[in-house]
Structure 1
Amino acid sequence: MRSPSQQMTPPHRGQLALPWLLLALDGLLVVGFAALGNRSHETGIGLGDVLGTAAPFLLGLLISSLAVRFWRAPSRLWPDAVVVILGTVVLGMAGRVLTGGGGAECSFVLVALGVLGALLTGRRVLTRLIGRLGTGR
């Protein structure tokens, strides 16, 4: 039997919400990537245009995040971030092609991999650093 000091305390509401907030932040980064792409290619920067471009990548982000059970460690770099980045790009490109939303040229795949990789990895590094600062480690 565990002593009172060893019993696990249930997480409070903020701890439960944090992974979902970080997933939403990842989603905003994906939308930002789509907005930059639309702007540079002059394909429309209206909200509908940007969301139309971002949608397959957002779906890829959601599927790959659920696959790694992001809520357990939303800022883990290995292997979670790698799976999420690759899943976001691969599923996003597949979604673009399957829905007729655009192609998946090699140059675009490499740019998406580089930019989304930097954005999604950067978010994880920053939130890990902030978490360590907050706990005094």
Structure 2
Amino acid sequence: MKRYLSAAAIDVLLVLVFAASGRRSHEEALTFAGLATTAWPFLAGLAAGWLVTFQLYRDKFDPLSVFPTGVLAWVSTLLLGMLLRVISGQGTAFSFVLVAASFLALFLIGWRVLYRAVRARRPLS
């Protein structure tokens, strides 16, 4: 259970970092309300991705796996996040979609790749 909570916490934290960096780059206030407004569509997409991944791979679900967990978390965070931004009247310019896709891939897949690489280099005890 700790493994699930740790991976979920890392994913949530990285989505919040993504949202905060976006607000900062556009010189928007980093208030709780502002961050929540920017982050909620992506956090909802992330939650959906985790739920779908768990349902599809219930017997073999690994929250630390690059695929399917990392990739499906990234895809759902991006796609559902953008859809919810459109529905809520937030911007989805093409350049923003590209930047979001890149950063979310780096964050949600990247930390898992790094984790696997570090773990593979450790000698067996």
Tell me whether the two structures share a fold, i.e. TM-score over 0.5. yes
Larger Rg belongs to: 1
Deviation per residue, 1:38-88 (Å, 9 max, x gap): 001012211221121001000000101111118821121223322211110
Q: Is 1:92 aligned to 2:77, yes or no?
A: no
Gaps of 5+ in 1: 1-15
Per mean C-alpha deviation after superposition, the further-off stretch among 118-127 and 27-36 is 118-127
TM-score between both structures, scaled by the size of structure 2: 0.86
* Deviation readout 1:83-104 (Å, 9 max, x if unpaired): 211110010011111112x121
1:39 maps onto 2:27 in alignment: no
| Unaligned 5+ runs, structure 2 | none
**Counterpart-to-counterpart distance in 2, 1:20 and 1:131:** 19
Residue 104 (structure 2) aligned to one of 116, 120, 130: 116
Deviations 1:90-121 (Å, cap 9, x if unpaired)? 10011111112x12111101000000100111
The 8 Å contact of residues 85 and 120 in structure 1, kept in 2 or not, is answered as: yes
Partner Cα distance (2:16, 2:51) in 1: 19
The structure where helix makes up a greater share of residues is 2
Q: TM-score, normalised by structure 1?
A: 0.79
- Matched to 1:85, the amino acid is W
1:79 corresponds to:
68
Percent identity of paired positions between Structure 1 and Structure 2: 37
Residues 74, 124 of structure 1: 8 Å contact kept: no
Q: Corresponding residue for 1:3?
A: none
Aligned AA for 2:109? T
Q: How many residues align?
A: 121
Tell me which residue corresponds to 1:29: 14
Instruction: Find the aligned partners of 1:47 and 1:97 in 2 and give their Cα distance.
Output: 21
What is the CA–CA distance in structure 1 between the aligned matches of 2:123 and 2:42, rounded to whole Å? 33
Q: Equivalent of 1:107, from 88, 95, 101?
A: 95
Q: Deviations over 1:9-39 (max 9, x none)?
A: xxxxxxx121122111100000000000000
